[in-house]
């Protein structure tokens, strides 16, 4: 298990799951828990047994299906109800019987919340905390306490907020996490409050929301002020603007402040784990997320590329490999020779000076017409290959294509495409039907080529984006199409631009198929 000197506490499965549009099954939660354990966090908050049937089922299954190597499972719940003994409260019983070695209790620390939300007295609230903590502690469970709305409560009535800490600690709570529940604090004022709280005999933790965009900064400020327990969520998930991003917090503390929080190999797995969790949650990953986003170490400006060519550390604050990420060079109309040469080297090509200059000019000219290569690496690699070989090389030549869109009497709209291609000395004519023109063209191309190139059966179109580039021309506007394809092991993006949306789509589709054949090992 993780060292108890400093706690990394994850609450993705409970607080993170409150994000709008995020809905986790019990199986999802078990998978995410394994990923978090692989990262090396010390505690995984599994949910609220007794209050939520799904969470009750999670804790039941976790006892036999989770074999945690680093983390301990934590059950979340509230203090007893007013006027009821902790031993007799059914929700407290659910925590006691959850099988979790640790219970995190949420308690009110804001006087107005006690009186208006709990509808009880300040004295009874303290009694609820004391009774519940001491009961669970006596039953053999370790108890943490989340002091809800602590910072707002401290502003309203500092003596009462600090009394909540004192009572919980005396009753046996080993950590009192101060919660910026509304997410409204800024780092300097939060640090002052944490410093005062840390003067008590209690061990202090921190739980921040990101409503001011300061959740990570607030967490780091709290650690500097004396907190030794940090809470957060994978990828910053959570209600409203989210919680402190646990990946960013861990990377900052370990790489910038020297804390030994997770094993170095686990830190090098962080990017993989972050993306694996997004696959389970089905939440689109933030490409600009610090440390683990696909754009976290992506460089576009020509000036930056020139410096990186000399020393990558000139424009990178860490080696991306420390968190399992990679440096990426983006090619665009901002690119200079250094950008193109570095990108070529990244793809395995050594360009001459003339080739670099010609390619830069070609990229800038095409981007002026609407192409975007920073979002379509596969299209750029095909362009680069053409530049290296001095000619356009493809696995097939297009004689013509045609699409018919028909609205039938039933109201159904169907598309039929015909393609005429030349490949391996053959002239091939094939048709395909689909629910739209691009789908029909895709099927027609596959019909034409899969007999010659069977590996195409593994390639599929997984995303299709259209953008109007010059809206002032109405339906005559220039259209950009981005297609993302996959062969089950990798994804790649291609781009097409034209006034005709079908032609733009065909350009991107043709390149997608060509790149898929290159990946399959076919020489054009």
The DSSP result for 335-350, as a single string, is --HHHHHHHHHHTT--
160 within 8 A of 153, measured Cβ to Cβ:
yes
Task: Look up the CATH number of the domain holding residue 209.
Answer: 3.20.20.70
Task: Look up the CATH number of the domain holding residue 448.
Answer: 3.30.160.270
**Residues above pLDDT 90, as percent of the chain:** 65
Whether 441 has a pLDDT exceeding 70, the answer reads yes
Q: Residue 490: which pLDDT band, with cuts at 50, 70 and 90? A: confident
Whether 519 has a pLDDT exceeding 70, the answer reads yes
In a domain, 205, yes or no: yes
Of 337, 359, 389, which residue is a domain's last? 389
Region 165-180 average pLDDT: 97
Give the pLDDT of residue 301.
55
> Could you tell me what percentage of the chain is helix, strand and coil, using 3-state DSSP and rounding each to the nearest 5?
45, 20, 35
Q: Using H for helix, E for strand and C for coil, what is the string for 450-465?
A: CCCCHHHHHCEEEEEE
- Greater confidence, 6 or 490? 6
Instruction: Assess whether 188 and 316 both reside in one domain.
Output: no
Give residue-wise pLDDT tens across range 71-92. 999 999 999 999 999 999 999 9
Q: Residue 524: which pLDDT band, with cuts at 50, 70 and 90? A: confident
Give the pLDDT of residue 279.
84
d(CA 510, CA 496): 9
Instruction: Assess whether 381 and 426 both reside in one domain.
Output: no
Give the pLDDT of residue 181.
96
**Residues above pLDDT 70, as percent of the chain:** 91
Give the pLDDT of residue 196.
95
In the chain, the number of structural domains is 3
Angle, to 10 degrees, between the axis of helix 377-389 and the axis of helix 353-368? 140
In a domain, 448, yes or no: yes
Nearest to 292 by CA among 245, 229, 343: 245
Instruction: Assess whether 368 and 432 both reside in one domain.
Output: no
In a domain, 51, yes or no: yes
d(CA 278, CA 285): 6
Whether 65 has a pLDDT exceeding 80, the answer reads yes
Q: Residue 121: which pLDDT band, with cuts at 50, 70 and 90? A: very high
In a domain, 289, yes or no: no
Which residues form the domain of 421?
397-519
Of 354, 389, 424, which residue is a domain's last? 389
Q: Give the least confident one: 55-59, 255-259, 307-311, 400-404.
A: 307-311
Region 41-55 average pLDDT: 94
In a domain, 2, yes or no: no
Instruction: Assess whether 131 and 203 both reside in one domain.
Output: yes
Q: Residue 333: which pLDDT band, with cuts at 50, 70 and 90? A: very low
Pairing of strands 479-486, 72-78: unpaired
Of 389, 419, 437, which residue is a domain's last? 389
Region 182-196 average pLDDT: 97
Instruction: Assess whether 448 and 370 both reside in one domain.
Output: no
Give the pLDDT of residue 465.
87
d(CA 217, CA 355): 46
Give the pLDDT of residue 419.
96
Region 263-273 average pLDDT: 92
Nearest to 350 by CA among 358, 362, 363, 340: 340
283 within 8 A of 21, measured Cβ to Cβ:
yes
Give the pLDDT of residue 369.
81
In a domain, 500, yes or no: yes
Whether 248 has a pLDDT exceeding 70, the answer reads yes
Q: Residue 106: which pLDDT band, with cuts at 50, 70 and 90? A: very high
Instruction: Assess whether 317 and 273 both reside in one domain.
Output: no
Q: Residue 306: which pLDDT band, with cuts at 50, 70 and 90? A: low
Mean of the per-residue pLDDT values for the chain? 89
Instruction: Assess whether 332 and 402 both reside in one domain.
Output: no
Whether 238 has a pLDDT exceeding 80, the answer reads yes
Instruction: Assess whether 237 and 147 both reside in one domain.
Output: yes
Region 426-433 average pLDDT: 94
Is the pTM higher than 0.75? The answer reads: no
Region 343-352 average pLDDT: 70
In a domain, 422, yes or no: yes
Instruction: Assess whether 182 and 86 both reside in one domain.
Output: yes
Instruction: Assess whether 215 and 120 both reside in one domain.
Output: yes
Instruction: Assess whether 334 and 451 both reside in one domain.
Output: no
91 within 8 A of 51, measured Cβ to Cβ:
yes
In a domain, 148, yes or no: yes
Instruction: Assess whether 365 and 411 both reside in one domain.
Output: no
Q: Give the least confident one: 142-156, 160-174, 222-236, 304-318.
A: 304-318
Secondary structure of residue 295 in the 3-state scheme: coil
241 within 8 A of 183, measured Cβ to Cβ:
yes
Give residue-wise pLDDT tens across range 349-404. 777 777 777 777 777 778 778 887 767 788 888 888 887 777 778 899 999 999 99
d(CA 44, CA 53): 18
The helices-and-strands tally (H runs, E runs) of the chain is 18, 16
Burial of 302 (0-12, 13-18, 19+ CB in 10 A): middle
């Amino acid at each position: 298990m993780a060292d108890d000197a400093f706690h990394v506490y994850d609450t993705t499965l409970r607080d993170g799951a409150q994000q709008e549009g995020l809905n986790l099954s019990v199986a999802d939660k078990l998978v995410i828990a394994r990923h978090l354990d692989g990262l090396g966090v010390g505690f995984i908050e599994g949910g609220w047994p007794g209050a939520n049937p799904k969470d009750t089922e999670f804790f039941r299954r976790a006892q036999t299906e989770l074999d945690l190597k680093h983390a301990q499972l934590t059950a979340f719940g509230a203090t007893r109800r007013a006027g009821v003994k902790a031993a007799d409260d059914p929700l407290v019983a659910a925590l006691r019987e959850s099988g979790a070695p640790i219970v995190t209790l949420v308690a009110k620390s804001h006087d107005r919340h006690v009186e208006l939300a709990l509808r009880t007295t300040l004295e009874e609230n303290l009694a609820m905390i004391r009774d519940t903590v001491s009961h669970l502690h006596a039953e053999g469970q370790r108890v943490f306490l989340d002091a809800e709305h602590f910072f707002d409560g401290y502003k309203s009535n500092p003596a009462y907020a600090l009394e909540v800490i004192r009572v919980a600690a005396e009753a046996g709570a080993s950590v009192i996490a101060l919660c910026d529940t509304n997410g409204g604090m800024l780092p300097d004022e939060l640090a002052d409050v944490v410093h005062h709280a840390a003067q008590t005999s209690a061990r202090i933790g921190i739980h921040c929301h990101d409503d001011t965009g300061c959740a990570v900064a607030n967490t780091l400020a709290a650690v500097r002020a004396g907190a030794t327990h940090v809470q957060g969520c994978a990828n910053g998930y959570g209600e409203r603007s989210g919680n402190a991003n646990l990946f960013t917090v861990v990377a900052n503390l370990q790489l910038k402040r020297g804390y030994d929080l997770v094993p170095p190999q686990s830190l090098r797995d962080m990017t993989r784990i972050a993306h694996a969790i997004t696959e389970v949650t089905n939440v689109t990953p933030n490409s600009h997320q610090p440390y683990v986003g696909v754009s976290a170490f992506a460089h576009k400006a020509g000036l930056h590329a020139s410096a990186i060519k000399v020393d990558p550390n000139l424009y990178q604050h860490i080696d991306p490999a420390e968190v399992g990420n990679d440096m990426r060079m983006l090619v665009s109309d901002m690119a200079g020779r250094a950008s193109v040469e570095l990108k070529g080297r990244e793809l395995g090509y050594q360009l001459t000076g003339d080739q670099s200059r010609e390619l830069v000019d070609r990229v800038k000219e095409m981007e002026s017409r609407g192409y975007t290569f920073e979002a379509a690496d596969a299209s750029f690699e095909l362009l680069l290959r053409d530049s290296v070989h001095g000619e356009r090389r493809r696995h097939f030549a297009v004689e013509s294509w045609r699409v018919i869109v028909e609205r039938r009497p039933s109201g159904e709209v169907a598309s039929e495409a015909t393609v005429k291609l030349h490949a391996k000395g053959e002239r091939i004519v094939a048709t395909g039907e689909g629910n739209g023109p691009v789908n029909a063209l895709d099927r027609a191309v596959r019909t034409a080529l899969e007999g010659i190139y069977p590996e195409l059966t593994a390639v599929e179109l997984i995303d299709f984006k259209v953008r109007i580039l010059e809206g002032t021309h109405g339906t005559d506007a220039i259209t950009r199409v981005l297609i993302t394809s996959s062969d089950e092991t990798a994804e790649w993006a291609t781009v097409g631009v034209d006034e005709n949306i079908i032609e733009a789509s065909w350009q991107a589709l043709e390149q997608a198929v060509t790149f898929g054949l290159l990946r399959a090992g076919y020489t054009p």
